[in-house]
């Protein structure tokens, strides 16, 4: 699967993402005993966008940013990544915030303060058809759906408009049962999947919950029977399994050095994949770039803080191509 260029003369972004970005505070020990935190920003749809932007994609974000002391930090950070913010509009609500800490034994602990966040007030009226129509790819996730009913409706509206304008849609199921019930997640997936071109689920736990199987190939078969053109199932240290018209492709993980933090790795894979598809790579090549991006990201802390540069990612990617 390749994504064609948009018609000549039409304003163009490579990828538009829809969702919530929060303040991230990460530390090296338990929250109860840590004195020092590093402030950055993260959110699944933003993590993907930063990865694609650092590779060189032209990107845009659809969200609300809260009118609180973090507003300037967030918008400044996003602009520094080259992200278009015409549809990242202010709202008189707080921004979401979460803490991530490392517990004894290396387990991660997440503590969220996001109820009533500005981004959760996203609604269909915030979706600009001209903006959606200017993209090659429009992207959202199960988390974007889960943060509120109005946000879920906004995702559906954006994907409907994208399809009407021949814009490719990409969707990460990204199940978070802390935000909603499994029944609601399954219902929302059933709602959106007829409008999805590229599906990006994870296995085994998430696929077992949503699709009733831990087998990536079964997930691929189920999604493609429902009209999805391309499915990339992320399998952690086992890499990814890619389903296309020409069959199944297994993409190995890129593993180098000690893993420090896996948060956001799947999102970063998505960013590498979508960058590749919008820049002339075939789906297998783009997926391999995605595994490289994810493998480099997990060496450092923070969901966006440790996303690699274009130079580092392509240095590794080209090296792997030479070996194979």
Position 166 scores a pLDDT of: 95
The pair of structure tokens assigned to 210 is 């949503």
Range of the domain at 241: 13-323
Q: Identify whether 3 is part of a domain.
A: no
**Count of helix runs (H) and strand runs (E) in the chain:** 11, 14
- Is the omega angle on the peptide bond into residue 204 within 30 degrees of 0, that is, cis? yes
Cα separations (Å) of 27 from 73, 95, 154? 19, 20, 34
Q: Which of 28-32, 105-109, 177-181, 196-200 has the lowest mean pLDDT?
A: 105-109
pLDDT digits (tens, 9 = 90+) for 128-154: 999 999 999 999 999 999 999 999 999
The mean per-residue pLDDT over the stretch 116-129 comes to 98
Q: Identify whether 155 is part of a domain.
A: yes
Q: Is the pLDDT of residue 11 over 60?
A: no
pLDDT category of residue 313 using cuts at 50, 70 and 90? very high
Closest CA to 145 of 108, 110, 180, 109: 180
How many Cβ atoms sit within 10 Å of the Cβ of residue 67?
14
Rounded percentage of the chain residues whose pLDDT exceeds 70: 95
Q: Is the pLDDT of residue 40 over 80?
A: yes
The gap from C-alpha 304 to its chain's centroid, in whole angstroms, comes to 11
Position 261 scores a pLDDT of: 83
- Burial bucket for residue 72 (CB in 10 Å: 0-12, 13-18, 19+): exposed
**What residues have CB less than 8 Å from 120, skipping those under 6 apart?**
20, 96, 114, 147, 148, 150, 151
Q: Identify whether 154 is part of a domain.
A: yes
Position 1 scores a pLDDT of: 74
Q: Which residue has the tokens 């199944």?
A: 248
Q: Identify whether 272 is part of a domain.
A: yes
pLDDT digits (tens, 9 = 90+) for 193-251: 999 999 999 999 999 999 999 999 999 999 999 999 999 999 999 999 999 999 999 99
Give the span between the Cα atoms of 283 and 244, in whole angstroms: 8
Q: Identify whether 6 is part of a domain.
A: no
Q: Identify whether 5 is part of a domain.
A: no
Give the span between the Cα atoms of 183 and 28, in whole angstroms: 35
**Total number of domains constituting the chain:** 1
Position 320 scores a pLDDT of: 87
The pair of structure tokens assigned to 199 is 């599906």
Q: Which of 10-19, 114-123, 215-224 has the lowest mean pLDDT?
A: 10-19
Q: Identify whether 211 is part of a domain.
A: yes
The pair of structure tokens assigned to 154 is 């906004």
- CATH number, domain containing residue 117: 3.40.1190.20
How many Cβ atoms sit within 10 Å of the Cβ of residue 120?
22
Position 294 scores a pLDDT of: 97
How many Cβ atoms sit within 10 Å of the Cβ of residue 19?
28
Q: Is the pLDDT of residue 170 over 70?
A: yes
Position 81 scores a pLDDT of: 97
Contact 65, 95 (CB under 8 A): yes
Phi-psi region of 314 (alpha: psi -120 to 50; beta: other; left: phi over 0): alpha
Q: Is the pLDDT of residue 10 over 70?
A: no
Mean pLDDT of the residues in the chain: 94
């Amino acid at each position: 699967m390749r994504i064609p260029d948009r018609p000549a003369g039409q304003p163009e972004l490579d990828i538009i993402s829809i969702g919530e970005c929060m303040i991230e505070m990460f530390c090296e020990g338990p929250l109860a005993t840590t004195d020092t935190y590093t402030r950055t920003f993260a959110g699944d749809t933003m993590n993907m966008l930063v990865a694609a932007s650092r590779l060189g994609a032209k990107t845009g974000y659809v969200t609300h940013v809260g009118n609180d002391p973090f507003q300037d930090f967030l918008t400044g950070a996003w602009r520094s990544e080259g992200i278009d913010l015409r549809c990242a509009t202010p709202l008189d609500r707080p921004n979401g915030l979460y803490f991530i800490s490392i517990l004894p034994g290396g387990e991660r602990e997440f503590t969220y303060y996001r109820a009533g966040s500005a981004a959760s007030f996203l609604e269909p009226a915030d979706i600009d058809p001209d903006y959606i129509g200017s993209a090659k790819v429009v992207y959202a996730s199960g988390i974007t759906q889960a943060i509120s009913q109005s946000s879920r409706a906004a995702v559906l509206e954006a994907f409907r408009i994208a399809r009407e304008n021949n814009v490719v849609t990409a969707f990460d199921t990204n199940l978070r049962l802390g935000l909603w019930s499994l029944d609601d997640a399954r219902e929302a997936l059933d709602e959106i999947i007829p409008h999805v071109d590229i599906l990006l689920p994870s296995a085994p736990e998430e696929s077992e919950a949503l699709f009733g199987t831990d087998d990536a190939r079964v997930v691929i078969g189920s999604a493609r029977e429902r009209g999805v053109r391309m499915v990339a199932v992320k399998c952690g240290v086992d890499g990814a399994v890619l389903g296309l018209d020409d069959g199944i492709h297994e993409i190995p993980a890129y593993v180098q050095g000690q893993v420090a933090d896996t948060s956001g790795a799947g999102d970063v894979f998505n960013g590498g994949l979508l960058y590749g598809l919008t820049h002339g790579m075939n789906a297998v090549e783009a997926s391999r770039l995605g595994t490289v991006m994810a493998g480099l990201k997990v060496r450092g802390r923070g969901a966006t803080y440790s996303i690699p540069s274009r130079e580092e990612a392509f240095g590794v990617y080209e090296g792997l191509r030479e070996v194979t």
